């Protein structure tokens, strides 16, 4: 059987963000090329055969991004983005979450199957300035590329924009046996794709750039590097790509349409590798791809583009020939039966700009919108009714679980959607059917991952419950949040304005 090489982006072209009225095209930077920053691996405070102890510190700092003035940025254990945290499957993690920022934040583990809402780190788990929250959890999911980001509604977008996003890699024995490159920083390379606009003195200005449909900037930033290059010293590279942008979709391809192979998606290794020349990622999606530079010669450069703009230049050096072939089948993905007598849950994402909603409602921190029994396997039909202009793709994300994508408008999902995912791009007019199972109890958010949309209310929450062990949760409320932030900023509550609030106000609604 000949294997297909897909040569197109799977999503609906009329809904690409390039057609959005507020689209900000990427521009090639005119600054010198710089070596791609590789986020260091976070060193455990202590490690035993069964337990790992980490400290993750949110902090403010300055980063040399462009020639001239440094940019004021935020990061985890560094001035910008994060150090890469390794979670070995089967081990118990003990993490101190420290907030050294001037304002409250939360530490959300995107893609991690842990109890909600406090360990999960959404809006109900604030860490106030100068304080520490401690979490413990057992790592119980397959190897995957996950990420950590701030999630204090309705300031998630602004805090991520300032730099609060880092990678977390789950490792396990099954992935370790597969013939993938895994020498971190050498042939196993994270690529966190983001975009920013630089204002006077090389500073970012979230408010000035604000757009309720998602903030964008014309300059691509990869792992916190502007105009990066990477020195290739092995024939094969594994790229762990994260769309870490607030709004931007990335349409990725290499120079000369070099094919590449996706081996993992959000939740881990896919059952079969998928080969293509073009790959589109929507916000928060991850793809692990293997690129084979076997046909390139030392001295050549192979460029990774999004649309027509160069993102990373791979400078080819001498390398040892590598004849490794990927197996046709990588891993088995369990596909549990749907629990009998559970109705199909309907979720509707509607609107754009300030009108964004889920099921005709905007998010309320104290309202639980749905319940699902832990262990139940249920079908969810997630619909995007957005039809303004050509509409837009809403990336639907769930906390606390990895789901399976079953169909798109009744047809097969895209070829690279056969593994576990926590984020799926839904085209306008489309219903994506997913299979959802929670393994841990908790209150979990589900939302559009255009981050301004979630801040603007395109978000809801579900309680995963165990009828034998009912629980109550202390959920964050708007008054507590507003009072805390106003106090941190030294202003009166009535003068406080957080970006997502405008979407509620323009709709005549209270947050």
DSSP reduced 3-state for 33: coil
Please report the beta strands in 339-429, taking only residues with DSSP state E, as ranges in sequence order.
345-350, 357-358, 370-373, 377-384, 394-398, 404-408, 423-426
DSSP state letter for 39: P
Q: Give strand pairing partners of 226.
A: 221
For Cu ion, the closer CB: 434 or 448: 448
DSSP state letter for 239: E
Give residue number: closest CB to Cu ion.
Answer: 448
Evaluate whether 420 touches 216 at the Cβ level (below 8 Å): no
Report residue 294 CA to chain centroid gap.
31
Q: Which helix (H) or strand (E) holds 279?
A: strand 279-281
Q: H helices of 390-506, where?
A: 451-455, 478-489, 501-506
For Cu ion, the closer CB: 98 or 453: 453
Nearest to 16 by CA among 25, 7, 27: 25
The span from the CA of 260 to the CA of 414, in Å, is 16
Angle 353-155-266 from CA coordinates, rounded to 5°? 80
For Cu ion, the closer CB: 293 or 504: 504
Nearest to 252 by CA among 211, 298, 300, 286: 286
Residue 458 Cβ vs Cu ion, minimum distance, rounded to whole Å? 5
Residue 393 Cβ vs Cu ion, minimum distance, rounded to whole Å? 8
Residue 211 Cβ vs Cu ion, minimum distance, rounded to whole Å? 12
Q: Give strand pairing partners of 232.
A: 316
For Cu ion, the closer CB: 195 or 288: 195
Evaluate whether 279 touches 243 at the Cβ level (below 8 Å): no
Burial environment of residue 70 by CB neighbours within 10 A (0 to 12, 13 to 18, 19 or more)? middle
CA atoms within 13 A on the CB side of 63: 23
Residue 450 Cβ vs Cu ion, minimum distance, rounded to whole Å? 4
For Cu ion, the closer CB: 148 or 458: 458
Residue 384 Cβ vs Cu ion, minimum distance, rounded to whole Å? 8
For Cu ion, the closer CB: 146 or 448: 448
Residue 349 Cβ vs Cu ion, minimum distance, rounded to whole Å? 6
- How many residues comprise the chain? 511
For Cu ion, the closer CB: 358 or 464: 358
Residue 376 Cβ vs Cu ion, minimum distance, rounded to whole Å? 27
Residue 31 Cβ vs Cu ion, minimum distance, rounded to whole Å? 32
What DSSP line would sit under 48-111, residue for residue? -SSEEEEEEEEEEEEE--SSSSPEEEEEESSSSB--BEEEETTPEEEEEEEE-SSS-B--EEET
End-to-end CA distance of the chain: 56
Q: H helices of 125-217, where?
A: 156-162, 173-176, 206-209
For Cu ion, the closer CB: 333 or 388: 388
For Cu ion, the closer CB: 436 or 448: 448
Residue 419 Cβ vs Cu ion, minimum distance, rounded to whole Å? 23
Residue 394 Cβ vs Cu ion, minimum distance, rounded to whole Å? 4
For Cu ion, the closer CB: 253 or 453: 453
Residue 213 Cβ vs Cu ion, minimum distance, rounded to whole Å? 8
Residue 242 Cβ vs Cu ion, minimum distance, rounded to whole Å? 18
For Cu ion, the closer CB: 84 or 503: 503
For Cu ion, the closer CB: 77 or 282: 282
Residue 157 Cβ vs Cu ion, minimum distance, rounded to whole Å? 12
Q: Under the rule (CB under 5 A), what is the footprint of Cu ion?
A: 394, 448, 450, 453
Nearest to 24 by CA among 217, 246, 266, 179: 217
Q: Give strand pairing partners of 271.
A: none
Residue 412: count other Cβ atoms within 10 Å of its Cβ.
11
The span from the CA of 160 to the CA of 405, in Å, is 27
- Contacts of residue 209, Cβ cutoff 8 Å, sequence gap at least 6: 197, 215, 216, 217
For Cu ion, the closer CB: 290 or 450: 450
């Amino acid at each position: 059987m000949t294997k297909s090489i897909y040569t197109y982006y799977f999503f609906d072209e009329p809904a690409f963000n390039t057609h959005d009225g507020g689209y900000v095209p990427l521009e090639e930077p005119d600054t010198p090329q710089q070596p791609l920053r590789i986020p260091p691996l976070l060193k455990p405070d202590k490690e035993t055969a069964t337990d790992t102890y980490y400290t993750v510190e949110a902090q403010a700092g300055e980063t040399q991004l462009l020639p001239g003035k440094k940019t004021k940025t935020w990061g985890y254990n560094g001035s910008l983005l994060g150090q890469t945290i390794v979670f070995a499957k089967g081990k118990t993690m003990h993490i101190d979450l420290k907030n050294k920022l001037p304002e409250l934040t939360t530490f959300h583990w995107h893609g991690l199957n842990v109890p909600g809402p406090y360990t999960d780190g959404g809006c109900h788990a604030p860490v106030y300035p100068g304080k520490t929250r401690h979490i413990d959890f057992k790592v119980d999911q397959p190897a995957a590329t996950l990420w950590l980001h701030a999630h204090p509604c309705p300031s998630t977008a602004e805090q991520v924009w300032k730099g609060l996003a880092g990678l977390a890699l789950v490792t396990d024995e099954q992935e370790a046996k597969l013939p993938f490159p895994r020498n971190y920083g050498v042939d196993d390379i994270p690529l966190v794709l983001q975009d920013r606009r630089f204002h006077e003195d090389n500073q970012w200005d979230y408010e000035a750039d604000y757009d309720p449909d998602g903030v964008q900037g014309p300059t691509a930033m990869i792992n916190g590097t502007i105009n990066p290059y990477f020195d290739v010293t092995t024939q094969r590279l594994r790229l762990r790509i994260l769309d870490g942008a607030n709004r931007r979709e990335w349409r990725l391809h290499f120079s000369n349409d070099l094919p590449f192979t996706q081996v993992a998606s959000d939740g881990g290794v896919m059952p079969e590798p998928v080969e293509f020349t073009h790959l589109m990622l929507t916000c928060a999606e991850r793809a692990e791809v293997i690129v084979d530079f076997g046909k390139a010669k030392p001295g050549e450069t192979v460029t990774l583009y999004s649309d027509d703009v160069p993102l990373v230049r791979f400078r080819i050096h001498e390398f040892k020939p590598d004849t490794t072939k990927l197996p046709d089948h990588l891993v088995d993905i369990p596909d549990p039966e749907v629990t009998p007598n559970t109705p199909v849950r309907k979720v509707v994402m509607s609107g754009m700009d300030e009108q964004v909603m889920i099921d005709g409602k905007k998010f309320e921190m104290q309202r639980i919108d749905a319940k699902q029994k832990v262990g139940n396997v249920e079908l969810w039909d997630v619909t995007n009714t957005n039809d303004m202009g050509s509409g837009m793709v809403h990336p639907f994300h769930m906390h606390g679980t990895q789901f399976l994508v079953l169909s798109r408008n009744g047809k097969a999902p895209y070829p690279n959607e056969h593994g576990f995912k926590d984020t799926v791009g839904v085209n306008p007019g489309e219903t994506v059917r997913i299979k959802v199972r929670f393994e841990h109890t908790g209150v979990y958010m589900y939302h559009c991952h255009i981050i301004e949309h979630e801040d603007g209310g395109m978000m809801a929450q579900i309680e995963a419950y165990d009828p034998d062990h009912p629980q109550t949760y202390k959920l964050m409320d708007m008054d507590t949040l507003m009072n805390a932030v106003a106090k941190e900023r030294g202003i009166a509550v009535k003068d406080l304005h957080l970006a997502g609030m405008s979407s509620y106000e323009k709709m005549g609604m209270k947050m």
